[in-house]
Amino acid sequence: MGLLKTKDGTDISYKDWGSGQPIVFHHGWPLSSDDWDAQMLYFLGKGYRVIAHDRRGHGRSSQTATGHDMDTYAADFAELAGALDLRNAIHIGHSTGGGEAARYVAQYGRDRVAKLVLIGAVPPIMVKTAANPAGLPIEVLDSLRSQLAANRSEFYWNFPIPFYGFNRKGAAVSEAVRVNWWRQSMMGGAKAQYDCIKAFSETDFTEDLKRIDVPTLVMHGDDDQIVPIADSALLSIKLLKNGSLKIYENYPHGMCTTQADIVNADLLDFIKS
C-alpha cells in the first residue's frame, strides 16, 4: 500500500499495481479499495495499470473529522493523480465512488482522463427536492444516520442483504461476501461514514455531468435497492454529452461482486472500444 499525504495532512492509502494504461477505481460507501479486488486482479492480468485508493476516513486512510464532502474527495484524488502522474486514465466509480469520479473528471480531468464508467452511481442527485421530486425522502437518509450512530456494527451486518440482493426470492446469502462487506466498513471511521451519507445523497452532480465530454458508460442494475435506477442512471444519461447506458436485468447494487465476470467483460469491451 502507498500513502499520499495531502495538503491538509490527511494520509490517503492507495494501491498501484502493474504498468500500461491506468484504470482508476473509486469505491462506494462505506467500503474501501478492497471492494475492487475482482476488477483489479482481472485488469492487471489484462496488462493494465490498476489504481484504487481508500477515500479519506475510509479503509486505511486517515480517519479525519472533516473534509467529508465531494469537493474534498475530488481534490484529494487530484493530488494523488498528480503524484502518480496519471494520464490517459479510465476512471470507474461505483455508487458514491461514481459521484467522486464524476466530480473529479469534471473539475480536474481535462488533460488526464480518457474514459469514465459510472456503475450503480449516485449522480445526478439522490435526495428528494423540489427539483428532484422522485428522489429519496430525507427521512430515509436520516434513518441511515440514526442506525449508524446507534449500532454501526449491527447496521453494517444487515446492510449487505439488500446491497447484494440477498433478500430476493431464490437468492442464496454468501456469508463470505457479507463478512467482507462488514470487515471493510468497520475499518473506516464512524464520523467519516456518517458525514458521507450527506455527501453521497445531497450533492447535486448535474453540472458535473453536463461538463464531462469523454466517452462515459453508465451501468446499472434494474433491481438496485440502494441507488434506484429511475432516479440515477436514467437521468444521468440524459445529461452526458458522450454517454451510453447499459441496464442489467435483475442485477443488484453490488453487481461488481455478484456478477463480476459479466461486469468485467463489459468493462473491457468499453475500454477497448
Residue 216's pLDDT is what?
A: 98
Give the three-state DSSP class for 86: coil
User: 206: which 3 cell numbers?
Assistant: 448535474
Listed in sequence order, the DSSP H helices in 17-69 are 37-45
Write out pLDDT tens, residues 249-267: 999 999 999 999 999 999 9
Q: Which residue do the cell numbers 468485467 mark?
A: 264
Residue 72's pLDDT is what?
A: 98
CATH number of 2-272: 3.40.50.1820
Give the three-state DSSP class for 37: helix
The active-site residue out of 53, 58, 91, 253 is 253
The active-site residue out of 13, 32, 61, 95 is 95
| Catalytic residue check, 37 | no
Residue 267's pLDDT is what?
A: 98
| Catalytic residue check, 76 | no
DSSP 132-163: -TTSB-HHHHHHHHHHHHH-HHHHHHHTHHHH
Indicate the domain borders of the chain: 2-272
Cα four-point dihedral sign 114, 201, 267, 85:
positive
| Catalytic residue check, 224 | yes
Write out pLDDT tens, residues 103-122: 999 999 989 999 999 999 99
pLDDT under 50: residue ranges of the chain: none
Strand order of the sheet with strand 2-5? 2-5, 11-17, 49-53, 22-26, 89-94, 113-119, 216-221, 243-248
The active-site residue out of 224, 231, 232, 236 is 224
User: 183: which 3 cell numbers?
Assistant: 470487515
pTM of the model: 0.97
Residue 236's pLDDT is what?
A: 98
